[in-house]
Amino acid sequence: MEMEKLGAMNSDHSAAIKVTRNGSGEKYSNDALSTNEQDMTRILDMFPGFVWTARPDGEIECSNQSVLDYTGMTLAELKNNWRSVVNPDDIAVRERALDLMARSGEPVERELRVRRFDGVYRWFHSRMRALRDEHGQVLRWYCISWDIEEHKRAEEALRESEHRLRLIIDTIPALVWVAKPDGSVEYTNQRVLDYFGVPEKDLAQFRWVHAVHPDDADAALRGWLRAVAAEASYEATHRHRSADGEYRWFQVRGEPLRDRDGRVLSWYGVTVDIDDRKQMEEALRSTRARLSRATRIATVAELSAAIAHEINQGLAAVVANGHALRRWLSSVSPNLERARLIAERIIRDGNSAADVVRRIRALFKQEAPTKVPLDVNEVIAEVLRLSGDKVRRKSSYVETDLEENLPMTLADRIQIQQVIINLVHNAIESMEDVTNRPRLLSIRSRRDATNIIVEIRDYGRGLENAEKIFEPFFTTKENGMGMGLAICRSIVEAHDGRLSATTSEKQGTTFCFTLPIRS
């Protein structure tokens, strides 16, 4: 209404004066009208924006002082050349807005750039309405405009920031996704769409599970739903099918975003391709298995004399007991009780020899580990029997301190035997150069609250780096492969234990490994 009054004051001023010329009240009416005009002009000039009116053809009719101050033009100049202050690219925008409003009768809002007195264009938001006669014809246009330059710059900065963020997210070498609080996918980066070759809607909700390998799909979905229900971090590894049908291994991680009250607002996650790493790990496991088998073969070759001795002892006992059995049965009065005892000895010695052969075959075969209740002291004693020839050949002697009633552990007998053989042989070989003190090999077993502890100590030359010796292919031996200790550590760790070494220049090296106590 104030803008309509402004137009009326400019165009119908003379009519207003005529209305007030009635006798003695003429001076009072003119003064009142002048005061009202001044108040209205002051109000419009103080308005924080542009206020102006235009004739039906769009030519400016009047404006508040803010327009004149901003453009640096007089009202007459503005009436004659209003197009000079509007950006040429936006003149058509203004005229289309007027045309649309003339046809529709509805107010129209538009954004356009207006030139300041110093030649700088700034963005303004304009809202226009039309005053019409009883026939619907436009009598006058009314408009207000306000400066939105800072708002436009903020919008542009936000768009640029969003664009940069989108570029960063799309460039991250991973599949990035966002899920709703219920766990359904809401957003993915471009790499996700490129990898799966489907639009984002085909991954929404929980339809992404169709791209998971059939063997992994059920576990992947159940694991994700459990994490969502518990509002806990999610981590899993499974295979995803690419657009060309190939399955690759991925590691998936998701973290919840929470509000101040701890409620989950959304989930953010990354899915990283680890297929190459998986293949390398598999190749490394296969290589280690082959090297472990080669080490076992070398160990058997080295222990062949001791093994032959044990087998020969068993067979000799069988033969001797066989002769005795025949003698007791061939007498005039066969001693059946004595013959029964001899027969049991033959069975015992035969089984003992067969057990030696079985263990030798197991060392050569590439069998999966078989964990059984194991007496570690018994394995140590067995290794020392097999290594007796080497101990004597190297002019060494063994000192043992084995705790009685040591608890059992669950372990693969052949693998633990391999670890102890390797450590014992390394200890013996490390003392070959020792001439000024006894070549003593000390083996000790004990327990703590949760573990069985085995210590194998030599009094050799010691080590420069007690940790580096466990690295694959690192060796201090002239003809060594550098895999023995690496394999030993992997075996012990596969049994949930630890293998370490400590060294002293004067007292040699102590290898210590632990195995958990298990019944």
Give the DSSP letter string of 251-263: EEEEEEEE-TTS-
Looking at mean pLDDT, say which of 133-147, 189-203, 380-394, 397-411 comes out highest.
Answer: 397-411
Q: Quick check: 474 pLDDT over 60?
A: no
> What is the rounded distance in angstroms from the CA atom of residue 385 to the CA atom of residue 379?
10
Q: What sign does the CA torsion over 37, 39, 44, 45 have?
A: positive
Q: Are 462 and 448 in contact (CB under 8 A)?
A: no
Rounded to an integer, what distance in angstroms lies between the CA atom of residue 243 and that of residue 245?
6
Whole-angstrom distance, CA of residue 367 vs CA of residue 345: 31
Q: Pick the more confident residue, 232 or 460.
A: 232
The percentage of residues in the chain with a pLDDT greater than 90, rounded to a whole number, is: 18
Superfamily designation of domain 2-149: PAS domain (3.30.450.20)
Same fold, 2-149 and 370-519: no
HSE-up of residue 438 (Cα within 13 Å, Cβ side): 9
CA dihedral 186, 191, 197, 200 (to 10 degrees): 20
Chain segment 348-398, per-residue pLDDT in tens = 777 777 776 666 665 555 555 678 899 999 999 888 887 777 777 777 888
Q: How many residues does the chain have?
A: 519
Q: Which amino acid is at 173?
A: P
Q: Tell me if 234 sits within 8 A of 222, measured CB to CB.
A: no
CA angle 48, 52, 58 (to 5 degrees): 145
**H helices, E strands: number in the chain:** 16, 17
The residue whose two tokens read 């490129």 is 194
- How do residues 36-72 score in pLDDT, each as one tens digit? 666 666 777 777 788 888 888 778 888 888 888 898 9
Residue 228 pLDDT? 92
Please say if the pLDDT value at position 143 is more than 60: yes
β-pair type (264-273, 508-516): unpaired
Sign, CA dihedral 229-233-237-242, equals positive
Residue in 39, 35, 40 with CA at minimum distance from that of residue 53? 40
Q: Are 425 and 473 in contact (CB under 8 A)?
A: no
Where is pLDDT greater, at 85 or 479?
Answer: 85
Four-CA torsion 101, 106, 107, 109, nearest 10 degrees: -70
Tokens for 295, please give them.
């080490």
| Cα 423 from Cα 417, distance rounded (Å) | 10
Q: Which CATH architecture has domain 172-273?
A: 2-Layer Sandwich (3.30)
- Name the more confident of 295 and 408: 408
Q: pLDDT digit string (tens) for 482-508?
A: 567 777 888 888 889 999 988 876 678
Non-local (6+) Cβ contacts of 408 within 8 A are: 373, 374, 375, 517, 518, 519
Q: 300, 386 in Cβ contact below 8 A?
A: no
Alpha-carbon distance of 439 to 128, in angstroms, equals: 105
pLDDT at residue 303 greater than cutoff 70 = no
User: What is the homologous superfamily of the domain 370-519 according to CATH?
Assistant: Histidine kinase-like ATPase, C-terminal domain (3.30.565.10)
The domain locations on the chain are: 2-149, 172-273, 278-367, 370-519
Q: Of 227, 263, 243, 251, whose CA–CA distance to 195 is shortest?
A: 243
Q: How many CB atoms lie within 10 A of CB 239?
A: 19
CA–CA dist 9, 142 (Å, integer): 14
pLDDT at 306 (0 to 100): 53
pLDDT of 8 above 50 = no
* CA separation for the pair 232, 254 (Å, rounded): 9
pLDDT band with cut points at 50, 70 and 90 for residue 115: very high
CB 148 within 8 A of CB 127: no
Average confidence score pLDDT of the chain? 79
What pLDDT shows up at residue 106? 72
